[in-house]
Every structure is written in structure tokens, then in C-alpha cells.
Chain A
Amino acid sequence: KQEVTQIPAALSVPEGENLVLNCSFTDSAIYNLQWFRQDPGKGLTSLLLIQSSQREQTSGRLNASLDKSSGRSTLYIAASQPGDSATYLCAIYSGYALNFGKGTSLLVTP
């Protein structure tokens, strides 16, 4: 069974900092990896989708990388803003349904 781990569980940074969120998974036989954002008590917003054949994807200030051989993905957020405060979830699709990590709770302070 695919296990997905996200480190750190929580992170607090001052506005303007660049930061990296980590996601690791145990089975490298994946189809794709998706990063989501979740605001408190709300649903999930898709941020980036990386196919298994890709190494990275970029959208605005966000960059996600994928290294299947080592079972790792990172989400890089440049020039963080208070509006980036949320929980970030990593999810793996291995052919049936998504397997989620527990998320990283990010707080960006003004």
C-alpha cells in the first residue's frame, strides 16, 4: 500500500521568504502526483499536477518537482505572502484513487 509522508507537519515563516515543502512516498510505481491547497474547513484546490514522466511543473510562484526513483516530491513557494497560509497536501495516483499525505500547515506572517 502506498504510504505518503509530508514534512514538516507545520511551518511558520515571515512574509517574503522562499520555502520548500516535502513529500515522500514508498512505491515509485505512480501515474502522477498532485499538490493541493486546503483552507481551514474547506475543500481542496489543485495547485500542480506532475505526470510520472515529468520532473517538474511550474505555476506562478509555485514549482513542484518529482523524483520517482527516490520517492520524493517538493513544492517550492517563492516570495511567500500571508495569503499563502493554508494546508498543503500531496497526493499520489497509482491507478485507483488518490493516496494523501497528512499535509503541511503553513503560516506566513506579515
Chain B
Amino acid sequence: SAVISQKPSRDICQRGTSLTIQCQVDSQVTMMFWYRQQPGQSLTLIATANQGSEATYESGFVIDKFPISRPNLTFSTLTVSNMSPEDSSIYLCSVDEGWNYGYTFGSGTRLTVV
């Protein structure tokens, strides 16, 4: 299955600042997915990123707050903008490896906003 390198693994940020999270996949994939996991909660899909087009955001998530880039078929970034303590979560990227393998996830970014 694909290997996803996600950086940074964790960060502590000041409110009002922005953080960019990177995911690098060792193979070409059509779609990449970004999830958020708030403390004690399950994973919620933020957006789906296709190469060459704008990301598709789920209800409750907007591009100004979570801009996403997808410059090629192996790389994507998610930026958490103008952060507040409510943004403290684990952020994960994921790829769909198809019928036989299901989804593969990156190692996650643990974000704390103070």
C-alpha cells in the first residue's frame, strides 16, 4: 500500500497565526482527503483535493479558513488559518487505494493552539 509522509507531526501555535501541513505520497493518486479529529471525537472530513482543480469542502468548512493546495499527484497541503484554540485537533491526510486496499492515512499532525 501507499506510504504517506505527513509533516509536522505536532506543533504548538499562537492564536491568530497559520500553520501549513504537508502530505507527500510515494505514488500518484487522483484524490487526497483531509480530516480533522477534535479531542475525544471521531474523524470529520474537511475537504477532498483533486490535482488541477479546487478542493471540494464539506459543510461547515470553508476555503478561507482551510485553504488546500494540490500541485501534483503526489503532494498536498492544508493550511489552518487565523487559528483559535478551537482549532486544536489532529489533522490527517488520506488517499483511497481502491477496491482491494481501502484508505491509507498519514501519521497525523497534532495541533495545539494557545
Contacts and interface: CB of A to CB of B under 8 A. Distances in A.
Interface residues of B, number: 23
Contacts of B6: 43
B92 A43 contact: yes
DSSP majority for the A interface? strand
B48 interface: yes
- Interface size range of chain A in the complex: 20 to 34
Interface string A28-44: 00001010100001111
Contacts of A100: 42-43
Interface string B1-31: 1000010001000000000000000000000
Interface string A67-110: 00000000000000000000001010100011011110000000
B39 to A, nearest CB: 10
Contact of B33 (A4, A42, A97, A101): A97
A38 to B, nearest CB: 8
Nearest to A48: B102
A43 B102 contact: no
Interface of A: 4, 32, 34, 36, 41-46, 49, 51, 89, 91, 93, 97-98, 100-103
